[in-house]
A and B are shown apart, each in its own frame.
Chain A
Amino acid sequence: MAKNSKGIEVAEILQDKCIACQICIGECPVGAIDLSPEGLALVDPELCIGCGKCQESCPVEAVKFERAGKKELSREDRGMPSEGVPGYEGVAVFIEVQDGEGVQVSWELMGKARELAEKLSTRVLGFLLGEGVDHIAREAFAHGCDEVHVSEHEVLASYRSAPYGHALTRLCERVKPEILLMGATHQGRDLAGVVATHLKTGLTADCTDLSIEDRTRLLLMTRPTFGGNIMATIYCEHRRPQMSTVRPMVMKLPERTPGREGRKVFHEWTPPPVELPHIVEFMGDALEGGMDIVQSAALVVAGMGACDPEAFHLLQELADVVGGTLACSRPVVEAGLLPYERQVGQTGKTVAPKLYIAVGVSGAIQHLVAIQGAEKIVAINPDPNAPIFKVADVGIVGDYARVIPEFINQLKNRMGA
């Protein structure tokens, strides 16, 4: 164990484990830790007083520190049961409304909220904002919600950050849910940051897994970070609600129970007396082929290896045969061959189709994190070492220009066409 000139046993950072989160730098009471030029934490042994705080706070066990006589606390021990924050109860979902209906991701979250609520022995709440939207409560009940809290006002007729942020904050203050889930849509992400800041609470974006920690009853929120290279599990111990956004298609849509009943509570809301922005015009995306890739049950996905406009006829033909839609990975969008709306990946959309055919997609981690929910993955790629083959249910190593016509032919035969 390393000692400094004063004979104190000092902490050491394991360089291959450090993720440069800087938590230890903030925790160190004597300022002995700095970020090295390589972007990793470094302990100045002469300044270190050997208190061990850096080791306790490190989320990745990258601090080597042993002190004689000190009983080392296990990670479990450190996650001691929390008293929670009294007065907050219920798992709430913000119900996003589009064209007078609740959007699907809200119902996916309702299913997750049900599961979390059962674990906590509490109820599922729905928060609904808009004008003339209270009929949506019925759908919320059918998807497992117990109570819908509604604020209606003409100012809420179309989404704008400030009034929605204000109204949802008020609902949280009145109803006091312990958890608030929102879809990681453009609207959900725009709104979540506003509400979390008003409430001074923790918010975790784009979670791929949510669970309740048995001992502490805390919400554990897992999300990809560093471009999908690692998964971080985040928690929020002292503030409420524990807020999280989740992308569409990440959670499973719960089964709908028509006629299931619940309680509807209306809350008066008065807009703050400030000048609000005014929506001048809305231009809908012209979805060529008329299909949203998130909703499509089958996708044929062009990657860098099929980044060629000539290839698209062939891929479209395959998409037609399997009843699917043409999508792509990032390089194809960057080459200007397909619009962003067609992009699958960390910076594009998360998808969970029944059938996913990757053509010339190498399978970078940023792409793979967004196809976790796909039922069957077929990969066609000339490089046998492409990472996509590690996750594909079935792969064909070869040139797509020759493989796909054969694939279409044989598939048509088997389909009896």
Chain B
Amino acid sequence: MHSVCCIKQVPDTAEVRIDPDTNTLVRAGVESISNPYDIVALEEAVSLKDRYGGRVTALCMGPPQAEHSLREALSLGADRVILLSDRAFAGADTLATSYTLSKAMEKLAKEHPIDLVFCGKQAIDGDTAQTGPGIATRLDCTQFTYVLKVDWVDLQKRQIQVTRKREGGREVIRGPLPALLTAELELAVPRRASLPLLISSLQAQVEAWDAKTLEASLNELGIKGSPTWVRAITSPPAREGGPAFDVSREGEAQAVSMALDTLMDEKGFLSKLLKRWEA
């Protein structure tokens, strides 16, 4: 079984802050990490390899330093890693990204046909959840997003069954291989790298493919292949806050009373509350 896992290197958005004085993004000291959902997806690919045999290839599109994410993938059990890096890939939106990744997979499939493609359900920097469906559509894979569990894979009958999240619950769904899965955090618990793998991952040579290697059409790559453009970047809209009453100054009873006065100031608030918000 050949599984391919797509990994994105992202800024750790939990660490990104806005400088309140200059209203700009403070990126100093913000680390680049592998998208956590992708690492969960990789773990599932590796544990399915442990169960059914085969190989796992990890792909990452990004600037040269994104190879750190691929070394991490090696340390976590990927057999082969490929960095997709080229100036022509820069500035890609999700349409151009899914094109680049699917071109790499077409090339990989010539050596070893692909049975499963794994992606995180979304990346924590953009949160779009669009690249996975884009790849599935381009490669004509069965698409399963928001996967919580892989129930089984039947390589003889070329079928897979997964449990996935959907509106109002979970569904168990079965379909033909090749399939593309996007991972929820619940899908797997990433392992810790073993020391030997960690060491060999640091010494490994990371293979790099550029636009030429992919035999990609330049018009579909990067900024040229991206129909969406950024017109402006702004700060999130600010909401005007009201007063805060401090218990240490006013005491509980008084602070609560003043807070409720403020709330009740709005005409009709009490009656809406009493009517349990029914119009």
Chain A residues with a Cβ under 8 A of chain B? 16-28, 31, 34-35, 37-40, 57, 59-60, 75, 79, 98, 103, 159-162, 165, 185-187, 189-194, 196-198, 200-206, 220, 222, 224-239, 275-285, 297-298, 322-323, 346-347, 354-355, 365-366, 368-369, 372, 376-379, 384, 389-399, 402-403, 406-407, 410-411, 414-416
Contacts and interface: CB of A to CB of B under 8 A. Distances in A.
The list of the 4 closest CB pairs from A to B, nearest first, reads A277-B175, A193-B133, A398-B247, A227-B13
Given A22-B91, A393-B242, A231 B231 contact: no
Given A16-B19, A395-B242, A396-B244, 19 more contacts: A16-B22, A20-B11, A25-B87, A26-B224, A79-B231, A202-B227, A203-B130, A229-B25, A230-B235, A238-B227, A239-B227, A277-B144, A284-B169, A323-B277, A390-B239, A393-B241, A393-B262, A394-B263, A406-B256
B137 A198 contact: yes
14 contacts: A16-B22, A19-B25, A39-B11, A189-B130, A202-B95, A226-B16, A226-B25, A234-B228, A282-B170, A323-B277, A393-B241, A396-B247, A397-B255, A410-B257
Contacts of B107: none
B234 interface: yes
B200 interface: no
A391 B239 contact: yes
Contacts of A16: 19, 22, 24-26
B273 A323 contact: yes
B129 interface: yes
A414 B241 contact: no
Contact of A384 (B126, B174, B244): B244
Interface stretch (B45-53, B110-118, B159-167, B191-199): B159-167
A193 B27 contact: no
B234 A225 contact: no
B137 to A, nearest CB: 4
B146 to A, nearest CB: 6
A190 B145 contact: yes
A161 B176 contact: no
A332 B241 CA distance: 25
Interface string B9-26: 001011011110010111
A284 B224 contact: no
B137 A197 contact: yes
B244 A394 contact: yes
B178 to A, nearest CB: 12
A31 to B, nearest CB: 5
Majority secondary structure, A binding face: mixed
Contact of A194 (B25, B143, B161, B174): B143
Contacts of A391: 238-239, 241
Contacts of A60: 232-233
Given A27-B91, A275-B176, A378-B263, A186 B242 contact: no
A386 to B, nearest CB: 9
B209 interface: no
Nearest to A59: B230
Contacts of B239: 368, 372, 377, 390-391
- Interface range on chain B: under 10, 10 to 19, 20 to 34, or 35 or more? 35 or more
Given A31-B87, A297-B277, A410-B260, A186 B244 contact: no
A225 B125 contact: yes
Residue among B161, B231, B277 having the largest count of chain A Cβ atoms under 10 Å: B231
A22 B241 CA distance: 36
A200 B227 contact: yes
A411 B264 CA distance: 10
A103 B166 CA distance: 14
Nearest to B22: A16
Contacts of A281: 171-172
B167 A187 contact: yes
Contacts of B236: 224, 228-231, 365, 368-369
B229 A197 contact: no
A281 B143 CA distance: 17
Nearest to A227: B13
B136 A194 contact: yes
A162 B137 CA distance: 8
Interface string B219-253: 00011101111111111111101111111100011
Contacts of B227: 200-202, 236-239
Nearest to A391: B239
A392 B241 contact: yes
Nearest to B165: A186
Contact of B253 (A165, A284, A406): A406
A204 B228 CA distance: 8
A23 B146 contact: no
B91 A38 contact: no
B273 A227 contact: no
Contacts of A22: 63, 90-91
B124 A193 contact: no
Interface in B69-93: 87-93
A406 B233 CA distance: 44
B150 interface: no
Contacts of B14: 227, 366
B205 interface: no
B273 A415 contact: yes
A75 B234 CA distance: 14
B57 interface: no
Contacts of A384: 244, 246
Contacts of B234: 222, 230-231, 233
